[in-house]
A and B are shown apart, each in its own frame.
Chain A
Amino acid sequence: MAHEETVYDALDQAHGGEGHWAFGTGFDDPLAGVDTTVPDGVDPADLGAYCLMLGDDALVLAQRLTQWVTNAPELEEEVALANIALDLLGQARLLLARAGSVGVLGRSRTLAGDTIPDEDALAYFRDVDEFRSTALVVAPNGDFAQTIARLLVAATWRLALFARLRASRDPVLAAIAAKGVNELAYHRDHAGRWLLRLGDGTAESHQRAQAGVDAVWPLLADLFTATEVEARLTAAGVAVDPASVRDEVRSVLDEVLTRATLRLPAWPADAAPGGRLGRHGPELPALLEELQGLARTHPQATW
């Protein structure tokens, strides 16, 4: 065998020389062999609604991060943010597919064509009041520092949730969480490293990091309040009570901010769920217009 010219050639050789490295090599199907039966005593409508909550958070945050593509301060960082967005999009896809598989499709199924898979119907053909994302991920990006502050909070919170969700009685949720934990650990790490450098950087970067953190912290208010769906599923051993991750989230965020020489903003008082019940501000319709416009204009488009 000749000396491999590049690492890509070497990988191609390692996987039988099929020349498909551009599509990835050696990937695992995260749901291979996973039992998809709904656990005993669990209302499929609740399970589907919960999957929409977690899936919509990922979908909306992926869309927000994607808005940095062609706009990020550095090319390398642009790729990093796009990678994180793609991880989240993958999580959204699995979660929305799970919601569809238990029959939770809302009005989307009647609006989407028959050839469109459930997860795409849910992503592209649901109306704004059917979305279950929290205000944390819906909020606009702001500047780079604020984007990083929001990403840190979102990744820390979701990682704490997913780590516990690995023990869910729903085997599909448990498998999705097990896959997501590695991704989210990287997202949290990435955001944390940036916030340390911004906070403990120059006067300008410090001021912007502080402003970003101050803008994001109030969005923590409704993250730890369970909806009725979450309360029922937590009792059934399927969901994670969001209140149970509050201490971990708070201690991680406090530590990062302290090391970044940033002032800890006041921790907001717990608020009633808003986005989880489909109540959204004006930012979400605008985001969905961008996300869904093409699919709705050309519902049969293929490429």
Chain B
Amino acid sequence: MSDMTAEGGKNTPSSPPLASSGRAPGRGRRDWPLYEVFVRGKRGLNHVHVGSLHAPDDEMAVHAARDVYTRRNEGVSIWVVKAEHISASSPDEKDPMFAPNGDKVYRHPTFYEIPDTVPHM
């Protein structure tokens, strides 16, 4: 159906008539960068990661995110960021990174009564 490529941020959709089929091998969305999508819901709170998508550039990524991830009235604000720009902790470091927190109960504010009227805790 399509052979799309990205060259210097531009792209070339070229689609034969609808009746044809078969994707051109070796070209296509692999050339589009992967974006991670964050949506802030109606009520405020924080932007939450909802998924990822491919897009030819930042601007189209925001628009694609609107169409793919906010179809059901989920959001009032969208962030996108190229996945390659995210620095992440390594799964191999899981234990040294997180295990030391497991037994430090005094770090958790569990000794307070939180009134029902305090939201988002």
Interface residues of A (CB under 8 A from B): 1, 4, 6-8, 10-11, 14, 21-27, 67-68, 71-77, 79-80, 83, 141-145, 189-190, 193, 197-198, 200-202, 204-205, 208
Q: A74-B2, A76-B53, A143-B16 provided; 6 other pairs, C-beta below 8 A?
A: A1-B120, A7-B40, A27-B73, A73-B1, A79-B64, A189-B63
Are the C-beta atoms of A1 and B119 separated by less than 8 Å?
yes
B97 within 8 A of A: no
Q: A24-B73, A73-B2, A202-B7 are in contact. Are A142 and B12 (CB under 8 A)?
A: no
Partner of B71, one of A4, A6, A83, A193: A83
B54-A74 in contact (CB<8A): yes
Q: Are A4 and B67 in contact (CB under 8 A)?
A: no
B50/A208 in contact, CB under 8 A: no
- Distance A37 CA – B71 CA, assembled complex (angstroms): 33
Give the CA-CA distance A76 to B54 in the complex, in Å: 7
For the complex, give the distance between the alpha carbons of A76 and B50 in Å.
15
Task: Judge if B72 is at the interface, Cβ distance under 8 Å.
Answer: yes
A1 and B14 contact, Cβ closer than 8 Å, known pairs A7-B41, A7-B75, A73-B1: no
A145 to B63, CA, bound (A): 18
Query: B1-26: contact bitstring with A at CB < 8 Å (1 yes, 0 no)?
Result: 11011010011111111100000000
Q: Assess A10 versus B2: contact at CB under 8 Å? Given A1-B120, A25-B73, A141-B18.
A: no
Q: Are A10 and B13 in contact (CB under 8 A)?
A: no
Contact indicator A24/B72 (Cβ below 8 Å): yes
Which of chain A's residues has its CB closest to B45's CB?
Answer: A10
Bound-complex Cα distance A26 to B43 (A): 11
* Contact A143 to B14, CB < 8 A, known contacts A25-B72, A76-B64: yes
* Chain B residues proximal to chain A, CB less than 8 Å: 1-2, 4-5, 7, 10-18, 29, 32, 39-43, 45, 48, 50, 53-56, 59-60, 63-64, 67-68, 71-75, 119-121
- A14 nearest CB across to chain B (Å): 4
Residues of B within 8 Å of A71, CB to CB, are 1, 15, 18
When the two chains form their complex, are residues B42 and A26 in contact, meaning their CB atoms are under 8 A apart?
A: yes
Cβ-neighbour of B74 out of A7, A72, A75, A144 (below 8 A) = A7
Interface contact B29-A74, CB-CB below 8 Å? yes
Task: Tell me the bound Cα distance from A264 to B73 in angstroms.
Answer: 38
What are the residues of chain B within 8 A of A23 when measuring CB–CB?
Answer: 72
* Min distance, Cβ A142 to any Cβ of chain B, angstroms: 7
In the complex, the answer to whether B121 meets A1 with C-beta atoms within 8 Å is yes
Q: Chain A residues with Cβ under 8 A from B10's Cβ?
A: 197, 200-202, 205
15 A-B contacts (beta carbon < 8 Å):
A11-B41, A24-B72, A26-B42, A27-B73, A71-B15, A71-B18, A72-B1, A79-B71, A144-B2, A144-B15, A193-B60, A197-B10, A197-B11, A202-B10, A205-B14
Are B50 and A6 touching (Cβ within 8 A)?
A: yes
In chain B, what residue has the closest Cβ to A148? Answer: B13
Residues of B within 8 A of A83 (CB): 67, 71
Known: A144-B13, A193-B63. Is A73-B73 also a contact (CB below 8 A)? Answer: no
- Say yes or no: A7-B15 contact (C-beta < 8 A), given A74-B4, A83-B67, A200-B10: no
Residues from chain B with a CB closer than 8 A to the CB of A189 are 63
Closest to B56 in A: A197
User: Which among A27, A76, A143 has the greatest number of chain B C-beta atoms within 10 A?
Assistant: A76
- Does B50 lie within 8 Å of A7, measured CB to CB? yes
- Closest-by-CB residue of A relative to B18 is A71
CB of A88, distance to nearest CB on chain B (Å): 14
Closest 3 CB pairs of A and B: A73-B2, A76-B64, A201-B10
A193 → chain B closest CB, angstroms: 7
Report Cα–Cα, A6/B75, bound state, in Å. Answer: 12
Asked if A205 contacts B12 (CB within 8 A), the reply is yes
Q: How far is the CA of A25 from the CA of B121 in the complex (A)?
A: 23
**Chain A CB within 10 Å — which of B29, B42, B75 has the most?**
B42
Do B74 and A80 touch across chains, with their CB atoms under 8 A apart? no
> Are the CB atoms of B4 and A73 closer together than 8 Å?
yes
